[in-house]
Chains A and B, each alone.
Chain A
Amino acid sequence: MSRHDHDHPHAPITNGDEPAAAMRVRILEELLVEKGAIRREDVRRGIDWLVSRSPADGARLVARAWLDPEFKERLLADARSAALELGLDAGPSPVVVAVENTEAVHHLVVCTLCSCYPRALLGPPPDWYKSITYRSRAVSEPRGVLSEFGLELEDDVELRVLDSTADIRYLVVPRRPAGSETMSEEELATLVTRDSMIGVADPTAPAGIV
């Protein structure tokens, strides 16, 4: 700690409303900029890129996979290459793995250690995804968590929870809903929600479309 024995003509350095983590990040950023390790422009660009991503990108992949079985095979084999076919950049994470929900198998994604998430294809994760409650209960009592999201899985459905603890990012390809048979690729993409690609929901077709 530095000595701090001067009089106090300046305002307190801490901002009373600023959470401790935000203050730590702000001070780290100031130090890194001061030492020339990063530029403020880099930070702004990074944030700008992140918030420009959205679940609409992942939804395009899913809608294409629903309509084109060969594309779905390529998506499940190598999601990064498949995303490139649609002009989508899967982002800086080295490997993105897509997993398919079926009648017999349901996938749920969590990062128990932090908040790993396929941000390039889904945008920033929802706050609940980063909460300690979700991160612990998604692995220990996932059926209870799904139930609270309004998704009741049948007992004979195999529930697979994926804990993305390292360099892999997981994207769920949800089941195509009944009643969507006549919909176009663009219309199908609107059914594919963020939550369904995390695995806490199933897409539903709008009433009356049948």
Chain B
Amino acid sequence: MRYRRGQRVRVAARRHEGHHRTPGYVKGKIGSVERVHASFTNPETRAYGADGLPKQPLYLVGFAQRDVWPDYRGGSGDRVYVDLFEHWLEDAE
């Protein structure tokens, strides 16, 4: 587990051809680690019949809604949380 709770991370902005579980709306955005879940098989290889190993650490990352949607209407404290695998995260501190 490379990241700990509270750490600032940036979601990689890269394109990925094929199945992956990183929603486009948080790519390139900076958030903070809310929970360190555990490690799970990698859906990017498992989707094509492989075993998904090695397992990848999974985090719940929280983003300020106003950072994600520039014209967001709602409280400044509103946040959106996304489960993201470690190989999609970069240091942002």
Contacts and interface: CB of A to CB of B under 8 A. Distances in A.
Contacts, number: 79
A115 interface: no
Given A94-B38, A95-B38, A113-B23, A166 B75 contact: no
B40 A94 contact: yes
A38 to B, nearest CB: 15
A144 B81 CA distance: 18
B83 interface: yes
Given A158-B79, A163-B81, A139 B74 contact: no
Interface string B49-93: 000000000101010010011001111011111111100000000
- Chain A, interface SS category: mixed
Interface in A7-42: none
A161 B73 contact: no
Nearest to A112: B23
Given A168-B60, A168-B83, A163 B75 contact: no
B81 A159 contact: no
A140 B74 CA distance: 10
A141 interface: yes
A182 B85 CA distance: 45
A139 B80 CA distance: 7
Contacts of A94: 38, 40
Contact of B43 (A97, A143, A156, A166): A166
A141 B73 contact: yes
Contacts of B60: 162, 168
Interface of B: 21-23, 25, 35, 37-38, 40, 43, 58, 60, 62, 65, 68-69, 72-75, 77-85
Given A95-B37, A165-B23, A166-B84, 20 more contacts: A94-B38, A95-B38, A112-B23, A113-B23, A139-B80, A140-B72, A141-B72, A141-B74, A142-B80, A156-B77, A158-B77, A159-B65, A159-B75, A159-B79, A161-B80, A163-B82, A163-B83, A166-B21, A167-B40, A168-B60
